[in-house]
């Protein structure tokens, strides 16, 4: 009886030792989290030179003379001139017999049957030289790198369908869509994939009959991530309050709203009820010192556009100042977007409150 007990004890100790080694191994080699951005250098902030060609933004490549900007384009007459985030962005030109593409190798090969969410922001150049807009701009995912003459089948496309042309308010426009991978896609190509460019043009001035036809769009903040509704979703307690709202991991291109953020009405003065949420984010930033962020302030529509933009900028700056005063040394910037990017209609107090927010954009991991 004693010998059997001793043997059982030995087996038990070996099992405990095995589990300990297994747990230690997992801690050394953490499992990869889903939802990370698979686009390298998604905001074009990393560069090998100060050149004006997209090839300077490693590892991007271009077809044609794809422009690369490190400061606002002098031709741009829009109030939104410059990059959407950071300082760098790209530009694509389209003419009747000429169009440009930009392409890059993905960080990972796409998995068959998996659904991926694609996003990018584009903005039309406000210039007298831009006489037309295009109906379609998007992405094509391919197992092979771009080559002249390659076919762009529908199965590989995530594109748009703006029958009146992509123009909007000359602010940044979100292009997005889901892509179900066939498997083995390694490359992404950005551009217009219509066979005849002329058929995709919409005149800015319908009375202009003989103007040279050219469209030009800026590109910034591109992301592609495996779609997982559970990933990064806030967790709620039984009272409905947000318990865990921070993303599981910071990755370039990620955008999220700072939850439980409160300002005194009509001002940029932070209320003490905001401290808990801000302190959680302070800790996460300090733990990720290489992460670069931009804080974007947003407002509901309540009056003069200039006043809305100024207040949204002041609120973003208030968060920026809080971070600085609490030991955050990460590279940070802030910007006021006014009421130009609502997430809900401005037709009720509940919806207006949703539009009053400060978002964090991860520029660089």
Q: Are residues 140 and 259 in the same domain?
A: no
86 in a structural domain: yes
- Residue 45 falls inside a structural domain: no
Task: Give yes or no: residues 71 and 216 share one domain.
Answer: yes
Q: How many helices (H) and strands (E) does the chain have?
A: 4, 19
Domain of residue 340, residue span: 235-364
The pLDDT profile of the chain, 365 residues, written as one tens digit per residue, is: 444 444 555 555 555 544 443 444 333 333 434 478 999 999 999 999 888 999 999 999 999 999 999 999 999 988 888 999 889 999 999 998 999 999 999 999 999 888 999 999 999 998 888 999 999 999 999 999 999 889 999 889 998 878 888 887 678 888 989 999 999 999 999 999 988 888 899 988 766 666 789 999 999 999 999 887 554 555 555 555 555 667 766 777 788 899 889 999 999 999 999 999 999 899 989 988 888 999 999 999 888 888 999 999 999 999 999 999 999 999 999 999 998 888 887 778 888 888 999 999 988 87
The count of structural domains within the chain is: 2
The pLDDT of residue 1 is 46
Where in the chain does DSSP place strands (E)?
A: 61-63, 67-69, 89-95, 98-99, 101-105, 115-124, 132-134, 138-142, 157-158, 173-180, 187-191, 201-203, 214-226, 235-236, 242-244, 255-257, 292-298, 332-336, 357-364
State the pLDDT at residue 4: 46
Q: Would you say residue 177 lies in a domain?
A: yes
How much is the pTM? 0.64
Residue 160 shares a structural domain with residue 309 = no
pLDDT at position 19? 45
* Same domain, residue pair 258 and 316: yes
Residue 43 lies in a domain: no
Statement to judge: residues 249 and 194 lie in one domain = no
Q: What is the pLDDT of residue 30?
A: 39
Q: Quick one: three-class SS letters along 281-308?
A: HHHHHHCCCCCEEEEEEECCCCCCHHHH
Domain termination site, one of 226, 249, 265: 226
Is residue 70 domain-shared with residue 203, that is, in the same domain?
A: yes
Q: Which of 226, 254, 273 is the last residue of a domain?
A: 226
**209 and 277: one domain?**
no
- Asked, for residue 5, whether it belongs to a domain, the answer is no
What pLDDT is stored for residue 206 in this prediction? 67
Specify whether 175 is located in the same domain as 256.
Answer: no
Return the CATH number at 331.
Answer: 3.30.1330.60
Q: Domain check: are 219 and 240 in the same one?
A: no
- Give the residue from 226, 254, 276 where a domain finishes: 226
Q: In terms of domains, do 153 and 281 share one?
A: no
Tell me what pLDDT residue 23 has. 41
64 lies in the same domain as 113: yes
Say what the pLDDT of residue 5 is: 47
109 and 66, same structural domain?
A: yes
- Is 101 contained in some domain? yes
Residue 33 lies in a domain: no
Q: Are 172 and 123 in contact (CB under 8 A)?
A: yes
Residue 320 maps to a domain:
yes
């Amino acid at each position: 009886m004693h010998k059997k007990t001793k043997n059982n004890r030995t087996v038990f100790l070996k099992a405990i030792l095995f589990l300990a080694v297994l747990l230690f191994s997992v801690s050394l080699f953490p499992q990869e989290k889903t939802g990370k951005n698979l686009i390298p250098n998604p905001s074009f902030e990393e560069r090998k030179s100060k050149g004006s060609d997209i090839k300077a933004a490693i590892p991007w490549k271009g077809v044609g003379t794809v422009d690369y900007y490190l400061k606002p384009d002098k031709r741009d007459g829009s109030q939104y001139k410059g990059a959407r985030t950071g300082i760098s962005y790209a530009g694509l030109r389209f003419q009747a017999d000429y169009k440009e593409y930009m392409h890059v190798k993905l960080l990972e090969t796409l998995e068959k049957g998996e659904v991926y969410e694609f996003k990018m922001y584009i903005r039309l150049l406000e210039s007298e030289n831009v006489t037309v807009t295009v109906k379609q701009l998007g992405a094509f995912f391919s197992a092979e790198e771009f080559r002249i003459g390659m076919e762009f089948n529908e199965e590989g496309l995530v594109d748009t369908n703006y029958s009146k042309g992509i123009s909007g308010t000359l602010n940044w426009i979100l292009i997005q869509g889901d892509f179900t991978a066939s498997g083995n896609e390694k490359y992404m190509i950005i551009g217009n994939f219509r066979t005849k460019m002329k058929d995709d043009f919409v005149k800015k001035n319908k009375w202009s009959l003989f103007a040279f036809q050219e469209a030009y769009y800026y590109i910034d903040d591109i992301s592609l991530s495996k779609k997982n509704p559970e990933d990064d979703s806030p967790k709620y307690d039984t009272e409905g309050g947000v318990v865990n709202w921070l993303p599981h991991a910071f990755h370039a291109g990620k955008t999220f709203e700072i939850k439980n953020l409160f300002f005194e009405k009509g001002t940029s003065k932070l209320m003490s009820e905001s401290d808990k949420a801000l302190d959680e984010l302070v800790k996460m930033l300090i733990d990720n010192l290489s992460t670069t962020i931009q804080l974007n302030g947003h407002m509901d529509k309540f009056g003069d556009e200039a006043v809305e933009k100024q207040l949204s900028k002041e609120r973003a700056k208030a968060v920026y100042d809080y971070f600085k005063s609490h030991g955050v040394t990460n590279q940070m910037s802030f910007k006021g977007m006014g009421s130009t990017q609502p997430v809900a209609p401005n037709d009720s107090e509940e919806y207006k409150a949703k539009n009053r927010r400060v978002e964090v954009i991860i520029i660089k991991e």
